[in-house]
Amino acid sequence: MNDYISANRKNTAVSDQQEILLKRKVREVELIKEVSAQINKTLDINLIANTMLALMDQHFGFKHSMILILDDAKENLSVLATHGYKDDGIGAKVKVGIGVIGMVAKRKKLMRMANMGMQKSYMQAVKKEVVKSSGEKVKEVGKLPGLEDVESQVAIPMELDDELVGVFSVESRELNLFDKEDEMIITILANQTASALQHANLYKLEQERLSQLNKAHNELADLNHNLEKKVEERTAELVELSKKLAKYFSPQVYDSIFSGKLDVTIKTQRKQLTIFFSDLQGFTELTDRLEPEILTELLTNYLTEMSKIATKWGGTIDKFIGDAMLVFFGDPSSNGHKNDAINCVAMAHEMLIKLQEIRKIWLERGVSKTLNARMGIHSSVCTVGNFGSQDRLDYTVIGNGVNLASRLESSSEVNKILISEDTNLLIKEEFETKERKPITVKGFSYPVKTFEVIGRKETISSFNQPLHEEIPGFSLSYNPYELSDNETAIKLIFDVLKRLEKREINKPKK
């Protein structure tokens, strides 16, 4: 009977012990789950560390604790978070291998220290360790937290895949912090925290990297914006400059230079060209009678209109010599020798028509002396290209053909176009011409035949037809074969036009 009772009691004790052990295991699992849930809620390193310390106090009564993180060089531990201390000491450093915490980091083994009643001696030893660390060029940022009346300390390595992340340190005024049975669970929680801290640190580094990339991207965007702005400003300056330069070149030469077709070097070539010269008769006399401002305005108006016509027909404006113009066709672009000559004569013909309109404007400005133009055209092989020095170039044309064109201009009658036989052979299918007296030109061993341009063949017949129109109060009779003084006829027509305009303005109302 006694044996039965003894065995029953023994079984009951074993059962109670198993139940206590089971409850402990359940508590440990629940504790691991709770800590894991709490520290994995965030990727903030400081929040993870402070949460871990608070949970350790809640479940184990660790009133004074701290977490230190190993630096990238793996030489020092820095205080990341503290719990229960008056001074938090965040950032204070401990060298690996120095003191309790440093030795735990070096050996990666848990260390216990008890019976630490001699606080002063302990603290002095700690200070010596810090000084020693400083002597080894380890800067202490702030003071390492610690209890003056500490009785026990436990430092636990925080590892992830056997790699040290940091150290979890606990101090107490009591002799023993926790029993041997809690050591494993605390180590697990410390390592779990190490994992969370490592992930948070990687996230932090990634965020910093992204921040740096964003900063670099923004800086690059600003740089590109500034660069684009500078390019736009510079482009605007170049466009403005090119507009100014364009006024010093004919459009063809300007386009050839800026497109790269024409090198800005001393380079010439022999080409078939058609050369045009024009000059205003009596302009020199006019310069002595008009004010410079009015003279400049009138001359600018004339040359502007003539230049528009030259550009329209594809002529290359070589230069202006006072009121005179030199234009040539066939370079830098050509439509063929024949078409170049036809375009040149068509240009000259349109210039004479435009001059009649300009003459009317000058009369309204008080220029009573009628100005007339002489024009000369010759087609031949000339030398064309860049002439000058290494520092200054002039794109022009030279040769006997240029001299002949100039001579034809000076020999022409007013408001007439005098051309050479070479040009006449090229344009005779398009224009009606009339042979004039030959001229002698220096450099030519024979007299040069000349021809006057009458007009285009498709319109010449209508221009030469007599005209007679009559309405009440007005009659007009025109016979080109009998007309001997064109200028007087033009003046009479202008006078009639003026009278008609004034009559229309002052016409009585009915």
pLDDT band of residue 300 (cuts 50, 70, 90) is confident
Top-confidence range, 126-130, 392-396, 473-477: 473-477
Q: Is the pTM of this model over 0.85?
A: no
Cα-flanking dihedrals φ and ψ of residue 266, to 5°? -70, 105
Asked if residue 31 has pLDDT above 90, the reply is no
User: What was the pLDDT predicted at 255?
Assistant: 63
High-pLDDT (> 70) share of the chain, %: 77
Does residue 26 surpass a pLDDT of 80? no
Is the model's pLDDT at 327 over the cut of 50?
A: yes
Answer whether residue 481 shows pLDDT above 60.
Answer: yes
Nearest to 76 by CA among 101, 50, 111, 51: 101
Is the confidence at residue 25, as pLDDT, over 50? yes
Mean pLDDT of 7-22: 59
Give the pLDDT band of residue 154 (cuts 50, 70, 90).
confident
pLDDT band of residue 120 (cuts 50, 70, 90) is very low
- pLDDT at position 76 is 92
Residue 217, pLDDT score: 87
Stretch 164-176: mean pLDDT: 85
Q: Does residue 480 surpass a pLDDT of 80?
A: no
Kindly indicate the confidence band of residue 504, based on its pLDDT and cuts at 50, 70 and 90.
Answer: low
Instruction: Please give the average per-residue pLDDT across 63-92, as a whole number.
Output: 89
pLDDT averaged over every residue in the chain: 80
* pLDDT for 119: 44
Residue 98 has pLDDT above 80, yes or no: yes
CB neighbour list of residue 417: distance below 8 Å, 6 or more residues apart: 345, 348, 349, 352, 375, 376, 377, 452, 453
The answer to whether 329 and 340 have CB atoms below 8 angstroms apart is: yes
pLDDT of residue 160 exceeding 90: no
Q: What is the longest distance spanned by two Cα atoms in the chain?
A: 171
Q: Is pLDDT at 250 greater than 70 in this prediction?
A: no
The pLDDT of 102-115, averaged and rounded, is 86
For the chain, the distance separating the N- and C-terminal CA atoms, rounded to the nearest angstrom, is: 157
Report DSSP state, residue 507. P
Residue 129: pLDDT above 60?
no
Higher pLDDT, 371 or 302: 302
What is the mean predicted confidence (pLDDT) over 355-360? Answer: 85
pLDDT > 50? residue 246: yes
| Confidence (pLDDT) at 248 | 59
Q: Is the pLDDT of residue 283 over 50?
A: yes
pLDDT value for 487: 81
pLDDT at 416: 94
Rounded to the nearest angstrom, the gap between the alpha carbon of residue 473 and the centroid of all alpha carbons in its chain is 71
DSSP letters for 229-296: HHHHHHHHHHHHHHHHHHTTS-HHHHHHHHHTSS-SSS-EEEEEEEEEEEEEETHHHHHTTS-HHHHH
How far is CA 145 from each of CA 64, 142, 158, 169, rounded to the nearest angstrom?
Answer: 9, 9, 19, 11
pLDDT of 210: 87
Q: Using the predicted structure, report yes or no on whether residue 63 has a pLDDT greater than 70.
A: yes
- Region 272-295: what's the mean pLDDT? 84
- Which structural domains are found in the chain, ordered by start? 26-207 (3.30.450.40), 266-460 (3.30.70.1230), 465-510 (no CATH)
- Give the CA dihedral 293, 294, 297, 301, nearest 10 degrees: -170
* The pLDDT of residue 59: 79
